[in-house]
């Protein structure tokens, strides 16, 4: 192949490369200035009905008429900066003139009382809304006698972060530590029986007064009290509140729905149930095992038709419950020798003899 031929092929290759790059750039440059690709329709997916109209209006004000090539996820998020409940956003450009926005929202999980005002927060700790400033003086209605129903009287506003009611965890003769005697109770399946019933924690929790304006459907959420300042759109910095939110999120739906609130310290979280027990979780470790132990304990109380007032699952392998359940029933045990020949050895005992069934120390099998 001659030198001239090689030169012509090299020039053709360079020209083709320039063409491949230049054509798309030219089309893109033309598209960014053409009215053909201006946003005329916005399709929204994933917004809750209560927010969909406001979100569409905000998007329309900022993005209608904007060129589709210039719309990015960051620009859409900036348009929705006033909506703290927006968790995730994805943007699709449906050429020539339609913008599709898919969003995921934070779900309200609890009410936080801080500085006399009520804040709605998600389980991730995101602050979603706050009561109006003029509601500060009437923030608390009183202690709760049931889910969402204030009882007469005024509840004093705690000046510090929420903590369990005064007094230490209930003591029983059965230790809350794992049983190392060789006859450990089944995991999550037994309730320790001691000599005294643990005293349930106080259920006095503040509730928002009827005059406090809150987003629809959030008034009956569980209550957590904190002294840390909060702001809408920010994440809660109080580690005790974050721990309480984690415990509430781990509860089964039925228990989460009936939860009045949670009290948290640096090492302990207690959840108060409406018409049910106060549950001691300890820290946030092994939450799945603790929830399984809680369900097993409550199921056992239901089978005995006894209302449970206190459960301690801080050690899920050895849960505690109050009031104490009756001991296991005496079982009938047949003798190994049902019939003894006359004059023979009768050490096997009489047929139908009874004896207490063996059970682990200080535990009752389900």
- Residue 136 is predicted with a pLDDT of 62
More confident position, 346 or 76 = 76
* Beta strands per DSSP E along the chain: 41-45, 86-94, 98-105, 108-114, 117-122, 127-130, 140-146, 149-150, 191-192, 206-208, 223-225, 259-264, 269-273, 278-282, 310-312, 320-322, 331-332, 354-355, 363-364
CA proximity to 228, closest of 85, 141, 125? 125
Say whether pLDDT at 343 is over 50: no
Q: Are β-strands 269-273 and 278-282 bridged in parallel, bridged antiparallel, or unpaired?
A: antiparallel
pLDDT at 140: 67
pLDDT over 70 at 73, yes or no: yes
Q: Which of 171-180, 205-214, 239-248 has the highest mean pLDDT?
A: 239-248
The answer to whether 364 and 325 have CB atoms below 8 angstroms apart is yes
For strands 310-312 and 278-282, give the pairing.
parallel
- Residue range 6-44, pLDDT digits in tens: 777 878 787 778 777 777 766 666 666 778 889 999 999
Residue 325 pLDDT grade (very low, low, confident, very high; cuts 50, 70, 90): confident
Q: Give the number of other Cβ atoms within 10 Å of residue 305's Cβ.
A: 6
Residue 322 has pLDDT above 70, yes or no: yes
Q: Of the given ranges (194-203, 253-262, 277-286, 355-364), which has the lowest mean pLDDT? A: 355-364
Is residue 353's pLDDT more than 60?
Answer: no
Tokens at 159, concatenated: 């000046």
**Could you state, in order of their start, the residue ranges of all structural domains in the chain?**
14-105, 108-322
CATH of domain 14-105: 3.10.20.310
For 131, the 3-state DSSP assignment is coil
Average pLDDT, the chain: 76
- Residue whose entry in the numeric block shows the structure tokens 């007032």: 309
Q: What is the pLDDT of residue 240?
A: 95
- For the cut 50, the answer to whether the pLDDT of residue 210 exceeds it is yes
Q: Is the pLDDT of residue 363 over 60?
A: no
Instruction: Give the pLDDT confidence of 94-107 residue by residue, as tens digits.
Output: 989 999 999 999 99
């Amino acid at each position: 192949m001659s030198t001239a031929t090689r030169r012509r092929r090299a020039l053709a290759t360079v020209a083709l490369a320039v063409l491949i790059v230049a054509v798309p750039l030219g089309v893109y440059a033309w598209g960014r200035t053409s009215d053909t690709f201006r946003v005329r329709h916005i399709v929204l997916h994933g917004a809750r009905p209560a927010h969909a109209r406001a979100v569409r209006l905000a998007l329309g004000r900022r993005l209608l008429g904007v060129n589709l090539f210039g719309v990015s996820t960051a620009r859409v998020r900036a348009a929705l900066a006033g909506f703290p409940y927006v968790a995730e956003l994805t943007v699709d450009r449906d050429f020539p003139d339609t913008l599709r926005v898919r969003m995921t929202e934070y779900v309200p999980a609890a009410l936080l009382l801080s500085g006399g005002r009520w804040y709605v927060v998600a389980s991730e700790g995101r602050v979603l809304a706050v009561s109006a400033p003029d509601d500060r003086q009437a923030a608390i209605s009183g202690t709760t006698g049931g889910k969402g129903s204030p009882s007469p009287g005024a509840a004093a506003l705690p000046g510090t972060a929420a903590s369990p009611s005064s007094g230490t965890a209930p003591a029983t003769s059965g230790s809350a530590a794992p049983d190392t005697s060789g006859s450990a109770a089944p995991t999550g399946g037994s309730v320790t029986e001691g000599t005294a019933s643990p005293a349930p924690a106080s259920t006095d929790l503040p509730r928002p007064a009827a005059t406090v304006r809150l987003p629809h459907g959030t008034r009956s959420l569980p209550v957590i009290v904190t002294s840390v300042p909060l702001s809408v759109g920010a994440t809660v910095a109080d580690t005790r509140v974050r721990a309480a939110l984690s415990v509430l999120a781990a509860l089964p739906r039925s228990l989460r729905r009936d939860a009045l609130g949670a009290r948290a310290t640096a090492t302990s979280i207690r959840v108060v149930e409406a018409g049910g027990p106060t549950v001691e979780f300890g820290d946030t470790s092994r939450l799945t095992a603790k929830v399984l132990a809680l369900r097993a304990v409550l199921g056992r109380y239901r089978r005995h038709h006894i209302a449970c007032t206190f459960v301690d699952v801080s050690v899920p392998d050895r849960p505690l419950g109050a009031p104490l359940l009756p001991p296991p029933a005496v079982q009938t045990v047949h003798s190994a020798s049902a019939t003894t020949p006359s004059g023979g050895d009768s050490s096997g005992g009489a047929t139908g003899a009874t004896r207490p069934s063996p059970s682990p120390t200080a535990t009752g099998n389900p």
